[in-house]
């Protein structure tokens, strides 16, 4: 199946594994929250138990350098893509309100990004993620 939209998550390539996983999980929830129409139907197991809905399209996870993250940030903002961002200072917080404060304290045009998730038209996301490589 070919989707009209694309979801890409870019994660700073030199983070510790636990940090990469944490950032990816947080960013995926941000995309799901901003694009509820992209969620599939609830899952049901063989016993009839209901399980949570998942995003109904693939998410591509990319490893990115700081330069690629900055470029993707600029491109995503210029193109009006749905964005979820994670900055380095958020590793030192313990809850959502503190995360928002940490993000707000960053320079608007050059935050210290460690992760960025994007959703939008395929071609626009491809242009914004140019230079990023699929995470190994």
pLDDT digits over 112-124, tens only? 999 999 999 999 9
CB 119 within 8 A of CB 38: yes
Q: Tokens 């050059």 label which residue?
A: 110
- State the pTM of this model: 0.94
Q: Which tokens go with 13?
A: 């390539």
CATH of the domain at 80: 3.40.1490.10
Contact 90, 80 (CB under 8 A): no
Q: Each residue of 55-74: pLDDT tens digit?
A: 999 999 999 999 999 999 99
| Average pLDDT value over all residues in the chain | 96
Number of residues written out for the chain? 136
Classify residue 80 as left (phi > 0), alpha (psi -120 to 50) or beta: left
CA distance 22 to 64: 16
Domain region containing 117:
5-134
Per-residue DSSP letter, 4: S
Residue 2's pLDDT is 87
Total domains, the chain = 1
């Amino acid at each position: 199946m070919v989707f009209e939209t694309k979801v890409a998550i870019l994660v700073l390539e030199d983070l510790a594994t636990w940090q990469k996983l944490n950032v990816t999980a947080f960013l995926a929830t941000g995309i799901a929250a901003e694009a509820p129409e992209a969620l599939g139907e609830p899952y049901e197991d063989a016993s009839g138990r209901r399980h949570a809905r998942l995003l109904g399209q693939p998410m591509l996870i990319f490893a990115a350098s700081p330069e690629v993250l900055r470029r993707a940030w600029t491109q995503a903002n210029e193109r009006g893509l749905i964005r979820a961002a994670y900055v380095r200072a958020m590793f030192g917080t313990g809850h959502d309100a503190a995360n928002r404060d940490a993000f707000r304290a960053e320079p608007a045009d050059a935050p210290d990004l460690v992760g960025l998730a994007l959703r939008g038209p395929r071609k626009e996301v491809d242009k914004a993620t140019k230079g990023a490589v699929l995470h190994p």
